[in-house]
Amino acid sequence: MVSRVIPVDPFDLIIFGATGDLARRKILPGLFRRFCAGQIPPESQIIGAARSDHDAQEFRVVVAEAIREFGGGKACEDGTLDEFLQRIDYVTVDARGDTGWRELAGKVRKKLINAFYFSVGPGLFGDLAERLQRFDMADDDSRIVVEKPFGRDLATAKALNASLAKHFDETQIYRIDHYLGKETVQNLMAVRFGNMLFEPLWNSQYIDHIQISVAETVGVGGRGGYYDKSGAMRDMVQNHLMQLLCLIAMEPPAKFDPDAVRDEKLKVIRALDPVEPHHMVRGQYGPSEGDDDFRTHVGDPASKTESFVAMKLAISNWRWAGTPFYLRTGKRLKARTSEITVVFKDAPHSIFGAEAGRHNNELRIRLQPNEGMTLDVTIKEPGQGGMRLVDVPLDMSFAEALGPDVAEVPDAYERLIMDVIRGNQTLFMRGDEVEAAWAWTDPIIEGWQARGEVPKTYDSGSDGPTDAMAMIARDGRIWREIKL
Ligand code: BG6
């Protein structure tokens, strides 16, 4: 069962930084897949813009190679690539100078939807925004798309917001957090607000605690320089895990519309308590067979940056007071898996006596891979010999339940770019939301720096530092094992 593809209106999409890594890995192959699916009308145009000196034909070769390397998808037939490449153009542009801008302005068709994707470092956002206005390329309906990292603290995020706000209205700015484009992340809202079953129990009266784990097996790869200045807190927690937390914890919005949803998410971030030092554990991965450790990867033998972080959070509002949220993310862990576990409280009284043991329900939402949900339910162990209780999983994999075609659902970037063209901001972060997330993050990072904290080393391929186990064990709880 695959959802209907509704074509978007014809558009001109201008990608700044079009020869960069993100464009080659995600944006261009993603656009191609949408083209194959029939979602992009043939009159649309994709214009690459970057500093490298290419003509359109040379850039088409770059695009074709990127698509071959990073995937066309099942629906793409021979011949479609040539059709797609005809939609591609290129202009050499200097983001900080005047080169190329007039030529680019001559190519953008104002009567269509115009979207400008800033697939460049944040240092260039203001320059690009200013030139789009100066060369008269943008109007009230134009959209700009910006990527993370959106600042490295509250002050830089505010400065970025201000530099964009000088030239564009908030309703025109699409800040990407690619986690929001993941199908199963959107499913969190469907599960919570589309079912009667969960919402009445979704509070501290019934939920003991919630765990959010995003584990990766990869190390920092070729991004050591960036990562050493960022760390897991800025790279993953401030954005991706924060978004997951918001979707799990927010109040039901009145409508599935951009401001209704983002207002509710913002309230969650603002209700987060500061985090106590003993409620956080940071780690750095050690070497593994045939590969180096974190410090070697980032090129600093004394690096104090974390590749793992685990923390216990409290949300101070009526719904969640008393229910802790445990978050954890790290690189070079045992398995690549993202999972949210909602652990319900024990039944208040067991009519079956102490020997039947204590049993509680647990809802696990697997975000990736093998997307699905499992609900542990307590039943009677079959057979003679009295009432013995046992927990069994009601296990549902979305692929099994909905058919193998779900594997072909658009990836996060495809979905998000089409939302930009449709003009739907629901799955994008609003400026105040990003600032609130930094306002909560800053004192945590400042505290680490002030205390000179050095992350604990953990074994590559493990569950992370043992201190993370100890942190949750002090509360009489355990992490879900990281496994596929
Ligand atoms: C990116 C981070 O935003 O998300 C990376 O910068 C991380 O460090 C990646 O690996 C994880 O994304 P995904 O989609 O693979 O879970």
Q: Which tens digits make up the pLDDT trace of 128-174?
A: 999 999 999 999 999 999 998 899 999 999 999 999 999 999 999 99
The pLDDT of residue 124 is 96
Q: In 3D, which of 127, 123, 191, 112 has the Cα closest to residue 374? A: 191
CA atoms within a 13 Å half-sphere pointing along the CA-CB vector of 323: 22
- Is the CB of 177 within 6 Å of ligand 1? no
CA atoms within a 13 Å half-sphere pointing along the CA-CB vector of 250: 23
What would the two tokens of residue 243 be? 């978004």
- Is the CB of 235 within 6 Å of ligand 1? yes
What b/e sequence results for 164-179 when a residue is b if at least 16 CB atoms lie within 10 Å of its CB, and e otherwise? beebbeeebbbbbbbb
How many percent of the chain have pLDDT more than 70?
97
Across the chain, what does the average pLDDT equal? Answer: 94
Q: How do beta strands 207-215 and 337-346 pair?
A: antiparallel
Of 184, 235, 305, 328, the residue with max ligand 1 atoms within 8 A of its CB, to mutate for a pocket test, comes to 235
Exposed (0-12), middle (13-18) or buried (19+): which is 213, by Cβ within 10 Å?
A: buried
Residue nearest to atom 8 of ligand 1 (CA): 235
Instruction: Tokens 């770059």: give the residue.
Output: 62
The pLDDT of residue 31 is 96
What is the CA(235)–ligand 1 centre distance, in A?
8
Measured distance CA(318)–CA(321) in Å, rounded: 6
From the alpha carbon of 331, which atom of ligand 1 is closest? 10
With cut-offs at 50, 70 and 90, classify the pLDDT of residue 21: very high
Lowest mean pLDDT among 120-134, 283-297, 310-324, 355-369: 355-369
Q: In 3D, which of 124, 109, 205 has the Cα closest to residue 160? A: 124
- Tell me the CA end-to-end span of the chain in Å, nearest whole number: 25
What is the CA(131)–ligand 1 centre distance, in A?
31
The pLDDT of residue 3 is 59
Instruction: Tokens 């072909």: give the residue.
Output: 408
What would the two tokens of residue 82 be? 């040539």
Measured distance CA(19)–CA(28) in Å, rounded: 10
What is the CA(473)–ligand 1 centre distance, in A?
28
Secondary element (H or E) of residue 309? strand 308-313
276: CB partners within 8 A, 6+ apart: none
Q: How do beta strands 11-16 and 372-380 pair?
A: unpaired
116 backbone φψ class: left, alpha, beta (φ>0; ψ -120 to 50): beta
Q: In 3D, which of 204, 206, 191, 199 has the Cα closest to residue 360? A: 206
- Is the CB of 411 within 6 Å of ligand 1? no
How many percent of the chain have pLDDT more than 90?
83
The pLDDT of residue 1 is 52
Measured torsion, CA atoms of residues 178, 179, 181, 187, in degrees rounded to the nearest 10: 180
With cut-offs at 50, 70 and 90, classify the pLDDT of residue 404: low
Measured distance CA(479)–CA(296) in Å, rounded: 29
The mean pLDDT value for 420-447 works out to: 97
Is position 240 annotated as part of the catalytic site?
yes
Q: Confirm whether pTM is higher than 0.85.
A: yes
Q: Is the preceding peptide bond at 410 cis, omega within 30 degrees of 0?
A: no
From the alpha carbon of 239, which atom of ligand 1 is closest? 3
Q: In 3D, which of 383, 365, 387 has the Cα closest to residue 374? A: 365
Q: Is the preceding peptide bond at 149 cis, omega within 30 degrees of 0?
A: yes
Measured distance CA(22)–CA(18) in Å, rounded: 8
The pLDDT of residue 453 is 96
